[in-house]
Every structure is written in C-alpha cells, then in structure tokens.
Structure 1
Amino acid sequence: MGKGGPPVSAEQSSLPHRVALISLHTSPLAQAGGGDAGGMNVYVAQTARRLADRGVQVEIFTRATGSDQPPVVHWHPGVLVRHVVAGPFEGLDKIDLPGQLCSFTAGVLRAEAAREPGHYDLVHSHYWLSGQVGYLAKDRWAVPLVHSAHTLAKVKNAALADGDRPEPFGRVVGEEQVVVEADRLVANTATEARELIELYGADPARVDVVAPGVDTDVFRPGDRSRARARLGLPADARLIVFAGRIQPLKAPDVLVRALGELHRRSPDDRWRLVVVGGVSGSVTTSPDSLRELAAAEGVADRLEFRPPVAPELLAEYFRAADVVGVPSHNESFGLVALEAQAVGTPVVAAARGGLTVAVRDDESGLLLPGHDARDWADALGRICRDAALRERLSAGAVRQAAAFSWEHTVEKLLDTYRRAIADAAAARHPGRSVPAGTGERVGSR
C-alpha cells in the first residue's frame, strides 16, 4: 500500500505521452466553494497543469453546464478542457447525473474516435461517476485506468451529519465496480487506502497513496491587518473563518453554535465568523438556516457570508483570520486546512479522515474528536486569546504546509501512471519489458 509493486525501472521511466482526465460532474474551470465545486476542482486543475509542464499532454473531459461554453478550451499549454454535452445545462443535481452517463460516455468516446488509434496512453478518472465512464473508455481504447475516488459513499454514510441524506445504493455499487475495473487506485491518505481495501475489497498491491499539495506561491504568509483592511473586516475582531461549500457534511453550523458559546462567555469580545462559500447539497444547511441558528444563539450580527472567491482572494481571508475552522464530518483530505496553514493561520479541525493528516494536533492547529459546541468554543477561544499559542501554531502551520507540494503530488502520480502502463504492457506481452509511454496497449481496437 503506497508502494504498489516493484520499483519502476529506468527502462520504464519515460513519461506517458497523453492522458485523458475525466471529471464529469465538476470542471477545473469552475469556482471552488459553491455548488459541486470544491477540493476536487483544485486537485484536477493543479495536477493537470503540472503534468503538462512535465511534457504530458492532458485532455480533461467534463460535462457542459452552459450553452455559452466552447466545446474545447485551450486552458494551459498542454491542457485541453473538453465540455461534453450531456443532459440539460442547468437544473441538474449531482444525484441526477447517473442518468446522463450514457450520453456523456458517448461524447468522450466520440472525441477519441476522431483521433488516430492509440491517441491516449492512460485514463485517470476522478470520482465514481467519472470512474464509470473511465472503465468503459479503458476497454474501448485498450489503455489502463487510474482512478481517484476523492470521497467514498460507505465512509460518508457512516458519518452523516444531522439532516444530511445518505449516499444512494447505486453509488455504492458503482464505486465497487470501479474498484474492480481500475488498474490502479490513488488514495489521498493511508486511511483512505485502508478504506478502499477493507470496505471495497481493493487489492492492496494496486493502491497508491498520493497526498494532495498546496500552492505556496498563492497561499503564503502575509500581513493580517492589511488583509483585513482589503476585505473590509474589523481590525480588532476575534475573527474565525470558514471556507467551503455550505452543506451538512462541512458542518458550518458547528461554528455558529461555537460562536454563540463564545459570545455568552465573553460578550465584550468582538467575535466574528465569516463564511466564505456557496450552497451545495441538501438545503437543510443554507445561509438562511445558519442565520436563523445565529439569531437563536444571539450572534446574528456577528455572522457574515461572503461568496466563493478565487484562490488569491481566499488566501487573503485566511491571512485575515485568527483561526480557520474546519468542522467537517468527513474529508478525504481537507485542502482548505492545508491552504490556511500555508499562510500561517492555525486551524481547528475535526479529527476525521484526511484532516488528521493535513493538521498536526498542537503543532499546526488543534484536532477535536467530536462536534460539541463547547469544545469548539474552547479551542477557538484559546487560539484567539492566547497570542503565544497562536504564534507557535502559526509557525508550525507553515512548516506543516511546506511538507506538501503539488510538484511532489505529480511526481507520485507519474510513478503510478508509469506502473499502470508497464503492468498493462506486461499483461499484453508476458515476459517482455515494455517502456511506459510507447503506445503499447493491453488490447486492440
């Protein structure tokens, strides 16, 4: 697990020429923080660009969500984004997307059919819906399939928030199918790798652990006062920031309740919670429901909503904060926590999933075992009030984030790609070593 077989030989070390990335339900061009756009968007965008910078031609297939979207966008040198028409442009929830799999798959296969045989060396699918498309493309194109789950239905259903709806059985079956069909599986953490193995029966030899990274050119330390002035936030506030989609899984309500607890304990302190993000998923968690909760807690005037923003501005929100709260019920990794730490802001996070990897307890932030508002108020209050603690955690946060880079992520992904191609070639030609990236296939058209 994380090793995934024998070391890649020098003969097998050449890069794949072309990779098809499938990200059906969300585009890397979309603004993260609202709708279905989140950490996966960032992951696909960052890895695609860096793969292209290494000389790999990347084509990203995503579903068109607007009539004004061009069929093909030359987004970055070496990266094409293809908008595939599948279903209505608007008004289609993620739970309705399985009904458009056939249409989307036809569009993907049609794009490849216009090329010379053997155009792609590999397919990398992101999320289970894309995996369904990916394993059909794998069979049609006779290339290996690498799959990243990003989230798993069985894990999410075991940690549902109040009012959230469970993932449907169809998704569970779909994920099980993709685990069987994929040549290699990419997990964000060792915990996710174990979940794939124990809950889905994945072959440990086919699971690679590849941690996401953080863009430290964008998310870097800066002046808190200047950031607050730029964002129009009070200079003297004890400022807590939440960034992400507003949905039960992300649990922003926990921070609202903690804000109420902090206000009751010390009403003279200028507590402020800023929520940066848009509505996603179940309507049981929305700005209106959070406002109602804040009113019940007596802190309606201390809660503020800001829309999703580009990474450069998001970094300013993190710089402005005394602390960033990440109370998610589950995260496969938790990029927000890593990005906040990269600017030097401590994080209070739930000890769930990948957050236990992204945050080092009492070194770069604080990890909490549950979601009790009193415990969250204790942790948030400690960091906001104790300057020495905040300074220590801030230094640790920068060190923690520095251990993760997108360059390292892509290097590990390329190892996975090489191994997948080499294994597929070995299956086609038993006993003969075939260098990766030569166009050899496991089957024929």
Structure 2
Amino acid sequence: MTVQPTYVSSLPGVNRPAPARPSLSRGGARVRRVAMLSVHTSPLHQPGTGDAGGMNVYVLELARRLACLGTEVDVFTRRTSLELPEVVEAAPGVRVRHVAAGPPGPLAKERLPALLPAFAEQVVRAGREDGRGRYDVVHSHYWLSGQAGREIAQRWDVPLVHTMHTMAKVKNAALAEGDTPEPLIRVLGEMGLADTADRLIANTAAEQGELVRHYGAQTERTAVVHPGVCLDNFRPLDGRAAARRRLGLPAGALVVLFAGRIQPLKAPDVLLHAVAELLRLRPGLRGRLLVPVIGGLSGAGAAYPDRCRRLAEELGVADSVSFRPPVRQADLADWYRAADVLTVPSHSESFGLVALEAQACGTPVLAAAVGGLPVAVRDGVTGLMVQGHDPAAYARALCRFADDPRWVGQLGLAAVRHAAGFGWEACARATERVYAETRTARWAARHLVGAAAS
C-alpha cells in the first residue's frame, strides 16, 4: 500500500526522534506482539448472553489464528469477578488478561465510560511489568475499548488499530420500534476514533463507506477485512437427519432457526409475526413447524425475552416456537445442521457471523438486506435476502423453503462452498498486513519528520 501523507499526519508522537527502522516482512514492519482490548465483554464469555455475541467469537478466533501465524496476542478485558484469574491461556500464544477497573461484577455498558481511565492505567501497568517485551500494536474492539486504546497506544507510543463492530449512527438510523437510541457520548467517542486511530478495520466495503460518510474517516486510513468462520467446527458433518436425532427433533419437521441475543436489534419479533403469517398461508404446517429461538437476554433489555414469549402466545404460535438458552459453539453447529433455514431479520448487522456459520454447516439463510449480510449471504444462491422488516415478506420467503425441499438442498450445497472462502486464517493474514502496514506508515512519517528537522 502506498503511504499517503494524510494517513500519518495526526499520529501521536510524530515529533519525537525517529527510532531504528523495524525489520520488514510481508509488505510492512513485522508485528510480534499485539494487545487487544475488549473492555465490556470477555472473549471467554458465552456468545448469545448479555453483551456477548459475534464480537466475542471474532476476538478469540482472530487472536488464535494470529498466534498460529507467529504473533502473540494478549486480550485485555475488564475483570467481572474476583474468582477470575489474572491471566487465562485461551490458546497457545493467546492470553486473556483480566483487568481490575471498578467493582468486580457485571456492569451496564452505560457505567463503563467512567471506568476507562482506570482500565487504561491498569493495562499500561501490566504492559510495563510484563517480562515478554513491548507490544507492537494496540487493536481495540468496540467504541469503549477504543477510548481506552487511544490512551494506551499513546502511552506505549505504538499504533492504534480499531474495529468498530457496530456504529452508533448506523444503529440509530435503523432503530427498532421500542429500542433505545445509542447515547451521544458513544457518537462522540466514535467520531474521535475515526479521526485519531491509525487505522480503522471495517468488515465490508459497505461499512467502510459508512465510516467515511457518517464519521468523516479518511478512506486511506481504513481497511476492509472480512470476518471468518471456524470451518473445523462449522461444517456439514453427517447431515440434517443425524443432527436432528442428536437434538431429539422430529425427522419430518420444518425447522426455522433463530440464533442470537434476544434484543430488539436482532428482531425476533419480526420472525414471530412471520411465523404467524406463514401458518395462515400454509395451515397444513401446524404441528410440523418448529421454530427454536436460541439465545439469552441482552444488557438492560431484561424484560424483552418475556415480551417475545407473550407475543408468541398472543399470535397463537407458542406451540411452534421454543425459547432455548445459548449453547456452546459445538452444539450450535448441530442446531444449524438440523435446521432447514436460519433466519436473521436484524435491523442492523455489521456482518452477521451466525449467517456464515449456518452456511458453513450446509444450511441456507433468510436474512434482512442490512449491513454486511448481503456479503455474508448470496441472495438466491445460498439463501434469500429481504428488503425491510415486513413480516409478510419473510412469511412468503419461508413458504418457498417449506414448498421446495430440493431447492433448499441446492442452496445448502452452495452455502458450504460460499462459506469456505471465509476461514479465519484469511482474516488473520489480512489483519496481520494491516498491522504491518500501519507500523511501516508510522516509521515512514517519523523518518520524514526527522529528515526535515535535520
């Protein structure tokens, strides 16, 4: 990548003496150690509960694959229990480090901004006391981590790479009915990151465009890196019938799956209304239709899962819908394999990892055409995309899945091929290049400043 002057004009420490030139590898400065920040949720938490979701999977899988490529990763997260050890080896070359910041218990995200200075101070201290050498890059995930990351990267005098995962302006523009808008403090924090982070990683070209359009990010300071899927875990294995036997599901059922946090953003209510309309259009499915909703409550929306249960009863579909707790990744793969279709009717998704996981298992996807989902799902090839959130549109699409099992099988075969192009190793290699290019850009800026000063 050509280094642009605007790319490095606002880098912290640019007026300090230029360091010795780093060794170069794969198009940039070799990165040996990375400090990842995930303040509000640990990569060790169960996805589908509280604030844990696709980002947790992303951080842990990316860290594992980076370690396989020779880059050590420490993931710093806020300590939520005194019983947690300070350091957990999550995989060879990957450590999760629990940082004391605020009371050692779960806290609402709204209370976390006040704790970020303490979090940053503790991470800086841990880095100073660590005997493995300095970190080459700070990679922060989500806006809260980014705020701490700005301070940490400046104190360590290293580049800051940031991944938004979701953006307040985008979420607020597609707010679900009854959902709470993202606060101004988050909007301002993300705007600051767009202006000062050395590099912003976007999941898709569409997200890159949103960074530029909504936050004024410079295109040359952004990079597109698609998330991956664990192809060792998420794969067709021994087929739908075997998966249903393991889960105790009827062989002849039509299984319409939802997997994710139970919150307005993910729109399980849209699915419930669609199921009611589907049974009106195809009354013969009554008794054969199964709709497992796998996931837990999220954040402050503790009452929302109960609202969904009441809605299922009011719509007359409670006999078809079963609400189930989150499951381990290995078990989730079996649920994907057992389903005829995964539904992702979200109002906003930066990418939608569940869609990719299901396809890797051979299950087509019915998804809203929002965010990164049109990249994760190939409309008409590996699933169907729906414009908007009209339950009747989802019901009509579900009729196609109910009426044509052979077509569903064709979609599933194409889905496996499609998902095979999204392994985590490809994501890690692309991220590694971003790290290297960012360090090289910083070195080049300092070299130019040093030459000008002399």
Asked if 1:345 corresponds to 2:360, the answer is: no
Give, in whole Å, the separation in 1 of the partners of 2:302 and 2:326: 19
User: Structure 1's 67 and 4: CA in aligned 2 closer, same or farther, altered over 3 A?
Assistant: farther
Corresponding position of 1:86: 101
1:208-232 superposed Cα distances (whole Å, 9 cap, x missing partner): 0000011111110131111112112
1:179-234 superposed Cα distances (whole Å, 9 cap, x missing partner): 11210110000011011111111111110000001111111013111111211222
| 1:210-359 matched pairs, under 5 angstroms | 210-222=225-237, 223-269=239-285, 270-283=288-301, 286-359=304-377
Q: Structure 1 length normalisation: TM-score? A: 0.93
The 8 Å contact of residues 276 and 305 in structure 1, kept in 2 or not, is answered as yes
How many Å apart are 1:284 and its aligned residue?
A: 7.5
User: Structure 1's 256 and 284: CA in aligned 2 closer, same or farther, altered over 3 A?
Assistant: farther
How many Å apart are 1:318 and its aligned residue?
A: 0.4
The 8 Å contact of residues 47 and 409 in structure 1, kept in 2 or not, is answered as yes
Give, in whole Å, the separation in 1 of the partners of 2:200 and 2:379: 29
1:56-96 superposed Cα distances (whole Å, 9 cap, x missing partner): 11111001111210011122111111101112233411122
How many Å apart are 1:238 and its aligned residue?
A: 0.9
Secondary structure of the structure 2 residue equivalent to 1:325: strand
How many Å apart are 1:128 and its aligned residue?
A: 0.6
Asked if 1:386 corresponds to 2:386, the answer is: no
The 8 Å contact of residues 4 and 208 in structure 1, kept in 2 or not, is answered as no
| 1:144-223 matched pairs, under 5 angstroms | 144-222=159-237, 223=239
Q: Structure 2 length normalisation: TM-score? A: 0.91
The 8 Å contact of residues 323 and 384 in structure 1, kept in 2 or not, is answered as no
What amino acid sits opposite 2:102 in the alignment?
G
Corresponding position of 1:61: 76
How many Å apart are 1:306 and its aligned residue?
A: 1.4
| 1:133-152 matched pairs, under 5 angstroms | 133-152=148-167
Corresponding position of 2:19: none
Corresponding position of 2:91: 76
1:374-426 superposed Cα distances (whole Å, 9 cap, x missing partner): 11111112113211210221122112111211111111101100011111111
2:49 to 22, 30, 34: 34
Secondary structure of the structure 1 residue equivalent to 2:326: coil
Secondary structure of the structure 1 residue equivalent to 2:342: strand
Secondary structure of the structure 2 residue equivalent to 1:392: helix
Give, in whole Å, the separation in 2 of the partners of 1:343 and 1:259: 24
Corresponding position of 1:96: 111
Give, in whole Å, the separation in 2 of the partners of 1:142 and 1:12: 22
What amino acid sits opposite 2:357 in the alignment?
E
Secondary structure of the structure 2 residue equivalent to 1:300: coil
* CA RMSD between the two structures: 1.9
Q: How many residues align?
A: 430
The 8 Å contact of residues 165 and 282 in structure 1, kept in 2 or not, is answered as no
Corresponding position of 2:13: none
Alignment gaps of 5+ in structure 1:
434-445
Corresponding position of 2:393: 375
The 8 Å contact of residues 363 and 396 in structure 1, kept in 2 or not, is answered as yes
How many Å apart are 1:113 and its aligned residue?
A: 2.1
Give, in whole Å, the separation in 2 of the partners of 1:112 and 1:427: 25
Give, in whole Å, the separation in 1 of the partners of 2:27 and 2:333: 40
User: Structure 1's 84 and 255: CA in aligned 2 closer, same or farther, altered over 3 A?
Assistant: same
Corresponding position of 2:11: none
Give, in whole Å, the separation in 1 of the partners of 2:107 and 2:141: 19
Give, in whole Å, the separation in 1 of the partners of 2:351 and 2:437: 24
What amino acid sits opposite 1:386 in the alignment?
D
Secondary structure of the structure 2 residue equivalent to 1:218: coil
What amino acid sits opposite 1:372 in the alignment?
D
Secondary structure of the structure 2 residue equivalent to 1:82: strand
Give, in whole Å, the separation in 2 of the partners of 1:272 and 1:258: 13
How many Å apart are 1:265 and its aligned residue?
A: 2.3
Percent identity over paired residues = 53
Secondary structure of the structure 1 residue equivalent to 2:35: strand
Alignment gaps of 5+ in structure 2:
5-22
1:141-186 superposed Cα distances (whole Å, 9 cap, x missing partner): 0001110000000000000001100000000000111111210110
How many Å apart are 1:114 and its aligned residue?
A: 1.4
Corresponding position of 2:444: 426
Corresponding position of 2:15: none
Secondary structure of the structure 1 residue equivalent to 2:375: helix
Corresponding position of 2:16: none
Give, in whole Å, the separation in 2 of the partners of 1:137 and 1:101: 11
The 8 Å contact of residues 4 and 204 in structure 1, kept in 2 or not, is answered as no
Corresponding position of 1:437: none
Give, in whole Å, the separation in 2 of the partners of 1:424 and 1:76: 30
Return 380-389 or 312-321, whichever deviates more.
380-389
What amino acid sits opposite 1:237 in the alignment?
A
Corresponding position of 2:137: 122
What amino acid sits opposite 2:105 in the alignment?
E
Return 315-324 or 83-92, whichever deviates more.
83-92
Give, in whole Å, the separation in 2 of the partners of 1:232 and 1:47: 33
